[in-house]
Structure 1
Amino acid sequence: MSQVSAGTTPHSTQFTHENIAFIGAGNMTSAIIRGMVKAGYPANMLMATNPSQEKLDVLANDLGIMTATDNAAALDFAETIVLAVKPQILADMCAALPESKQDKSYISIAAGVSVARIQEMLDAPVQVVRTMPNTPSAIGMGMTGLYAQNNTSTDLRICAEYCLKQVGETLWVTHEDDINTVIAAAGSSPAYLFMFAEAMQTKTQELGLTEQDAKLLVAQALAGAGKMLLENPDTDFATLRSNVTSKGGTTAAAIASFHTANLADIIADAMQAAVDRAREMQANI
């Protein structure tokens, strides 16, 4: 996966606060807004709209942001709109917006919806930054891929990166299809690790430990390994694995079993299946 060149990534540019409105008040919206407010973003410059008054009340009471049940209010409030509704209802939602929608800029966290398709839904060549966050964003440990067309303004790019950096790390990609690689490597991958953890927990219990003890052992080991990956950015993953694997030892025996089962091929096939499905879903939205 290729990153955009240094000249188009806005990492070092200061973001100026502006009104931002989120259409949709689900878990990802909540995580992003909470991260922004925690980082010092003025709550009165943020709005969320949603049909559910209950969801809005939680955000308003906890964070002091602006809320509305009418999506048109988002367009009155802000020039930058975050599209945070389910992909299957995005087209109908966009169609119901007033004509002023064509004068706004957009950040999309709707999975599987291309920039061209969003522009079609909004009936205008609006500027869009497409993003793909993952579920660990809920605890501030997210990984988000971002893509924008070449004519997208630096200001919108900076705004999108700022918002998503409040829930984790970000990575810009050059080609829109690379977002599907982000899905396979980061968007879907927490589930891969959860499945791995499930299998480890099951075997640990079969070997005699309690469910609680098995979960603690597996969760702490995986969390610690993940932290080691992050804290050793100049060390390749194979070296970290080798450092734990003494010749002829217990880890070596386990790794040999993985090799016999062709674990690398299994993982590659699973990731390719995720990419293929992402492309299929995008074509059908």
Structure 2
Amino acid sequence: MTAPETLALVGAGKMGSSLLGGWLAAGFEPRRISVYDPAPSDALRAQAGKWGFALNPAHAPAEAVVLAVKPQALDAVAAGIAALFGRDSFLLSILAGKTVHNLAARLPASAILRAMPNTPAAVGRGVTGVFANEATRPDQREKAQFLLSGVGGVEWVERESLIDAVTAISGSGPAYVFNLVEALAEAGTQLGLPADLSLRLARATVEGSGELLRRQPDISAATLRKNVTSPGGTTQAALDVLMAPDGLTPLMVRAGAAARKRAEDLSG
């Protein structure tokens, strides 16, 4: 993979900062990075001083422009960043719900990629779904792959509409997992465990289960589930509830559908 010659990051909040950290860790030359943020945090200022990337310099065209502001802020920032785009620039947007059409109407970019990373990017364990429009060249796709792989895995989709589904599953998914920890801990408390102990058990269980998935990529989640389950045992009794027709799967399908609809609503 090759890196872009120059890079402008617009927005250095949680996800923008995670991407920036991934690029620096991957060896991207800081002098080729410009970061634009209207209210830079003390941590961002310190990072700029340590690494030497430019913080809020005069606007100049960059080969790659990564847009990482909140979706609701697009109209407010679009006019002010037009000078970041040159003839060969490409736009990599991580704004939930903002379509290629929506972005092209506001920014002078023809090659546009929409990406949806998730919060484990902060520890280099994220996963990002990405779509590229027809104007995006193969070399620009490769450079986008480099930028996104700095924080975890990258999965390409061939239809833009699937990005909203990616948002619903992996983009919002960490919150679902954290809520599972909360629910599991509450179940333990209801069964008589001290609240702090129940929370420790729930956290450790989810952490360890995730590590099993990571270390055994060739074994399906269904197989791992079956490996824990003895016929007629305690796990089977619980799964009879979770896997009932009105159990966890249809609930998660409804949750995903709600998240996708909200992503679609943000596209205006």
CA distance in 1, matches of 2:249, 2:41: 46
Q: CA deviation at 1:279?
A: 1.7
Residues 131 and 158 of structure 2 are in contact (CA less than 8 Å); yes or no, is this contact kept in structure 1?
yes
Which residue in the other structure is 2:170 paired with?
186
User: For the structure 1 residues 143 and 192, does the alpha-carbon distance in structure 2 shift closer, same or farther, using more than 3 Å as the test?
Assistant: same
Structure 1 segment 122-141 matched on structure 2, within 5 A: 122=107, 124=108, 126-141=110-125
SS at structure 1 position matched to 2:28: coil
* Structure 1 position 240 matched with structure 2 position 224: yes
> 2:130 aligned with 1:143, yes or no?
no
1:223 and 2:207 matched: yes
Q: How high is the TM-score relative to the length of structure 1?
A: 0.86
Determine if the alignment matches structure 1 residue 254 to structure 2 residue 238: yes
In 1: Cα distance, 2:196 partner to 2:119 partner: 24
One of 52, 58, 61 as aligned partner of 1:64 = 52
| Structure 1 residue 186 displacement after superposition | 0.3
What is the alpha-carbon distance in structure 2 between the residues aligned to residue 17 and residue 179 of structure 1? 24
1:235-265 deviation per Cα after TM superposition (whole angstroms, max 9, x unaligned): 2221111111001111001101213342221
SS at 2:158's partner residue? Answer: coil
* Match in the other structure for 1:9: none
Residues 129-138 or 17-26, more deviating: 17-26
Bigger shift: residues 94-103 or 196-205: 94-103
Q: Does 1:174 align with 2:158?
A: yes
Closer/same/farther in 2, CA of residues 266 and 86 from structure 1, 3 Å limit: same
Distance 1:99 1:46 in 2: 16
What percent identity do the matched residue pairs reach?
35
Matches within 5 A, 1:62-211: 62-68=50-56, 73-76=58-61, 78-98=62-82, 101=85, 103=87, 104-122=89-107, 124=108, 126-211=110-195
In terms of mean alpha carbon deviation, does 31-40 or 166-175 score higher?
31-40
TM-score (norm 2): 0.91
How many angstroms apart in 2 are the aligned matches of 1:183 and 1:62? 33
Q: Determine if contact 2:90/2:136 at 8 Å carries over to the other structure.
A: no
Runs of 4+ in 1 over 4 A off after TM superposition: none
Query: Are the structure 2 counterparts of residues 147 and 74 from structure 1 closer, same or farther at C-alpha, using a change threshold of 3 Å?
Result: farther
For 1:223, give the aligned amino acid: E
Distance 1:39 1:80 in 2: 16
Structure 1 runs not aligned, ≥5 long = 1-13
- Matched residue, 2:248: 263
Return the letter of the residue paired with 1:58: A
Partner-residue secondary structure (3-state), 2:55: strand
Aligned length in residues? 265
CA distance in 2, matches of 1:89, 1:67: 20
**Aligned-residue CA RMSD (Å):** 1.9
- How much does 1:145 deviate? 0.5
Give the superposition deviation at 1:17. Answer: 5.0
Q: Which residue of 2 aligns with 1:6?
A: none
Whichever residue aligns with residue 37 of structure 2, its letter is N
Q: CA deviation at 1:46?
A: 1.3
Q: Which amino acid aligns with 2:49?
A: N
Structure 2: gaps (5+ residues):
none
Which residue of the other structure, out of 8, 15, 24, is the alignment partner of 2:11?
A: 24
